[in-house]
Amino acid sequence: MTNFLTLGQYYFSQLMGKPIFDANGKKIGKLCDMAVKWDSVAPQVVGIRFDSNQQRLIPVECLDEIGSKQIKLKSTFTIHKTVELQPENIYIGKWLLDKQIIDLQGSKLVRVNDISLTWTRLENREQILLIAVDIGLRGLLRRIGLEFLVERMNNRFLGWQYIKPLEEKTSSLQLNKDKTQLEQLHPADIADIIEQMDYHRRVSFINDLSNEQTVDALAKMDLSAQVEVISQMDERQASQLLQKMPPDEAANILSELPATKSRIFLSLMECNEATEVRELMDYGENTAGSLMTTEYISFAQDITAGQVIVELRRIAPEAETIYYLYVLDEHGYMQGVLSLRELIIASPDSILRNLMHTNVITVNDLDSTRKVAEVISKYGLLAVPVTNHNGVMVGIITVDDILEMIMLDRTKSDRFSWLIFSKRIARGYGL
């Protein structure tokens, strides 16, 4: 039978500053911090920092008692019994207490107000483990001796298994057992987290994300936040992200930046992508062209449904939307449209010419955004194609862009029309 014994449970805030005495009663110093080895088993305290002016530690094995008023050692103290802080170890007071971490469950930034530790003995081996961090009000009041005011309040703990120090030991910690957990967060949650961070934390956090995660998160931010994030990035990194974003979103961001900076970013982008973005930036505000994206899926009218499905599997991951498939001639003129649903239920041998609807609802690139909203609402569309003055298709406007515009512009007086609009759009998903 395993011989396991809990010798004590503590809060780091209650240990800070406690005097340390050796077996002869000689005062050695006071607890200034605790060094932790962070591994895959559990964060384990390896030593106590007893002097604020040096990096040497009293090993945990030397501890005999952790009392309410003092800490005692098992034997007399000499400097030769201390050990040096190792590169893989961190001071939990310096790098964890009072720092912000990411709460994966709540998808938000939280502050570490205290740290929960337990001292155990297992098969004659003693160790102090970091069990959790306290992110609640009770932990904060405990620090200043006012915990009695909230004794009935539950503690808010986050288990150690969700905490991973950043490699650089910077002033923030990432709540992240491994990167797969971070990848499971919704882009909108990542966007909220980034917006809550200050400049230094934001740069470090974004560098831990993949380009795809950063692009998806940027797409969920307000324009002002997008501009702020892009402005803070290295020029080459920013241009790479802008290039991966839908052209309309990249154009919106660049339009808000100083002209000199926009030109630099555009010059670092691939020629084709930069040209698309420049063309969108030329459209006036509140025009259909300023809302549209040039990323849409089109086919010739003489291919089969089966061929289209094969091609969709290849190109769909890069497309903004595949709700509708547009049928164009070799000059870009609209011939017809069909929904993804109609394509899927069609016979693989069916020709698009026989499947498409030729009466296509479109808007002009210079139409007002209000007119676009009215068209999408009236016909319950998920996207509407945009043509230029020659009738050539130049892009599409998706419903999410219109919804975002309405949410930003609507007032209390038009909430009813907003509800009507939403219901009409919802019906469009039955296409």
Contact (CB, 8 A) for 220 and 229: no
Mean pLDDT of 213-229: 87
Provide the mean pLDDT of the chain.
83
Q: In whole angstroms, what separates CA 81 from the centre of its chain?
A: 45
Ramachandran bin of 101, using left for φ above 0, alpha for ψ from -120 to 50, beta for the remaining angles: beta
Instruction: For residues 257 and 261, give the distance between their C-alpha atoms in angstroms, rounded to a whole number.
Output: 6
Sign of CA dihedral 135, 137, 143, 147: negative
Task: Supply 4's token pair.
Answer: 């396991």
Q: What is the per-residue pLDDT for 205?
A: 78
Q: What would the pLDDT profile of 172-184 be if each residue is shown by its tens digit? A: 455 444 455 666 6
Q: What would the pLDDT profile of 318-334 be if each residue is shown by its tens digit? A: 666 788 999 999 999 99
Task: Supply 381's token pair.
Answer: 């569309």
Instruction: For residues 272 and 288, give the distance between their C-alpha atoms in angstroms, rounded to a whole number.
Output: 22
Ramachandran bin of 158, using left for φ above 0, alpha for ψ from -120 to 50, beta for the remaining angles: beta
What angle do the packed helices 247-256 and 223-232 form, to 10 degrees?
A: 80
Mean pLDDT of 381-403: 90
Contact (CB, 8 A) for 387 and 334: yes
Q: What would the pLDDT profile of 139-160 be if each residue is shown by its tens digit? A: 889 888 888 888 888 888 888 7
Q: What would the pLDDT profile of 247-276 be if each residue is shown by its tens digit? A: 888 998 999 999 999 999 999 999 988 999
- Domains of the chain in sequence order: 1-162 (2.30.30.240), 185-282 (1.25.60.10), 292-428 (3.10.580.10)
CA angle 125, 131, 134 (to 5 degrees): 150
Distances (CA, A) of 401 to 351, 362, 404, 406: 32, 16, 5, 9
Residue 367 has pLDDT above 80, yes or no: yes
Q: What would the pLDDT profile of 280-296 be if each residue is shown by its tens digit? A: 999 988 899 998 988 88
Q: Per the confidence metrics, is the pTM higher than 0.75?
A: no
